[in-house]
Amino acid sequence: MENVTQIVQHVRQAHWRVQRQWIGLFLLGLVAAAMVAGIYLNITVRATLAGREIIYLQNHLIDDQRANSDQETILAGLTSVESMQSRAEAMGFKPIDSGTITYIVVPGYVPQTSVDMSQPGADSQGQSQKPVLLPAYTKSLFDWITRTLVTSTSVGGQP
């Protein structure tokens, strides 16, 4: 009985230990909540930075597309018929009529041949030729397995 009394006395005397445990648990919860908040904040900041970078790249892409369109417009103006004619006249060229054209025959000149758009495998008369396949490529996998099994069983002594 004396042991029980001593234990009760120690518990009563160590009431501050229980308070310290509660304070420790509260601080542990507070640290855990702060860590979760810190991780959440870190993820949010990264997502925001990625979003801003995407917006920056999209704006840069739009600016490049505008600059490209501007250059295409300038090129279209420079290659227009009126612009080309005025520049040609400024360089000394003049329009020509069909009566003043002189054609020159160049001996040995062979003009380019036209592109052959016929079907592949067709000969010069337009008849299609049959493709040549080796006999090894005309058998199916099933035929090969059957032939291999038949030859292996006949070699083994059984027909």
Give 159's contacts (C-beta < 8 A, 6+ positions apart): 153
Could you give the CA distance from residue 27 to residue 18 in angstroms, rounded to a whole number? 14
pLDDT for 33 equals 97
pTM for this prediction: 0.43
Tokens coding 88? 């040609």
pLDDT for 73 equals 96
122 phi and psi angles, rounded to 5 deg? -85, 140
Mean pLDDT by 10 residues, the chain (159 residues): 74 72 93 97 97 97 97 95 93 88 89 75 59 74 86 65
Could you give the CA distance from residue 116 to residue 109 in angstroms, rounded to a whole number? 21
| Helix (H) or strand (E) segment spanning residue 12 | helix 2-13
What is each CA distance from 118 to 112, 121, 124, in whole angstroms?
18, 9, 10
Could you give the CA distance from residue 77 to residue 81 in angstroms, rounded to a whole number? 9
pLDDT for 158 equals 52
Three-state secondary structure call for residue 107: coil
